Amino acid sequence: MLTQQLSRLLRTCAPALAAIAFAAAPAGALTIPLNVEFDDGTVGPHATLTVEESGGGLDFTLSLAGTDLGPNADLHEFYFNIAGDPGALQLETVSAVATPFELSTDPAVAGGAGAAFDYGVNLGEGAGPPGNGVLQSASFRITADDPLTLASLSPLSATSQGIQVNFALHVQGTSAPFATSETVGGVIPEPGTLLLLAAGLSGLALHGRRSS
């Protein structure tokens, strides 16, 4: 009886879950958890990055929603790499903030966390004093002389502990058990990850159909 119920549940739910898995990564868009803490590599719900291709540029959205970094955490600096030589990069601030964000081509000057990356975006000026919990999300657009795609973001950089990441985010005003500021990073998911998930769910649905 229980086996039949499980089969019916799989047959009903697996196709929908597979569809969700495919929809979670539409063409030209990625959502990446910035969930690796730089110093010791611990993983947690620290921040989320969404990147979308748009008109030859890339639209970035950073969010601390659901973060475990504390209620006063503020976005401060974001670091990334660009493959090849697309020409000069330009930044457009999309979020409504007090002052525009700033693009740096030498993020090492902003602190040790950015030293391994090609570019940095300073977000701190839009939040006022650090640690007031005001800047919990930020949106900006990056363009270049040549078109940018998600593949342009592929180069990896190493953290202080040798952890390989595509992106890093420095957050101020974090709460215990973290230090007063933290740097977290994330990796672009492998292209086949969601496809494997969807295929597995579809397989479960087929198995349930045959077993009923």
Write the pLDDT tens digit of every residue in 72-129.
898 989 999 999 999 999 999 888 777 789 998 877 665 566 778 999 999 875 556 6
Q: How many domains does the chain have?
A: 2
Whether 41 and 142 map to the same domain: the answer is yes
Whether 143 and 129 map to the same domain: the answer is yes
Among the residue ranges 44-48, 111-115, 140-144, the one predicted with the least confidence is 111-115
From residue 86, alpha-carbon distances to 14, 56, 106 in Å are 42, 11, 17
Whether 114 and 135 map to the same domain: the answer is yes
Q: What are phi and psi of 73, to 5 degrees?
A: -65, 135
Mean pLDDT taken over the chain? 77
Full domain range(s) for residue 9: 1-25+190-212
Percent of the chain with pLDDT over 90: 40
Whether 172 and 201 map to the same domain: the answer is no
Whether 152 and 99 map to the same domain: the answer is yes
Whether 115 and 15 map to the same domain: the answer is no
Q: What is the pLDDT of residue 11?
A: 36
Give the residue-averaged pLDDT of 20-42.
73
pLDDT greater at residue 12 or residue 53: 53
Calpha distance 163→203 (Å, rounded) = 34
pLDDT greater at residue 8 or residue 65: 65
Whether 157 and 210 map to the same domain: the answer is no
Whether 8 and 79 map to the same domain: the answer is no
Q: pTM for this structure?
A: 0.76
| CB of 206 closer than 8 Å to CB of 108 | no
Whether 159 and 209 map to the same domain: the answer is no
Whether 84 and 172 map to the same domain: the answer is yes
Calpha distance 53→151 (Å, rounded) = 10
Indicate the DSSP class of residue 116. Answer: T
Calpha distance 42→51 (Å, rounded) = 24
* Ramachandran category for residue 66: left, alpha or beta (phi over 0 → left; psi -120 to 50 → alpha): left
Query: 206 pLDDT band (50/70/90 cuts)?
Result: very low
Whether 181 and 194 map to the same domain: the answer is no
Whether 39 and 85 map to the same domain: the answer is yes
Q: Please report, as a single letter, which amino acid is at residue 47.
A: A
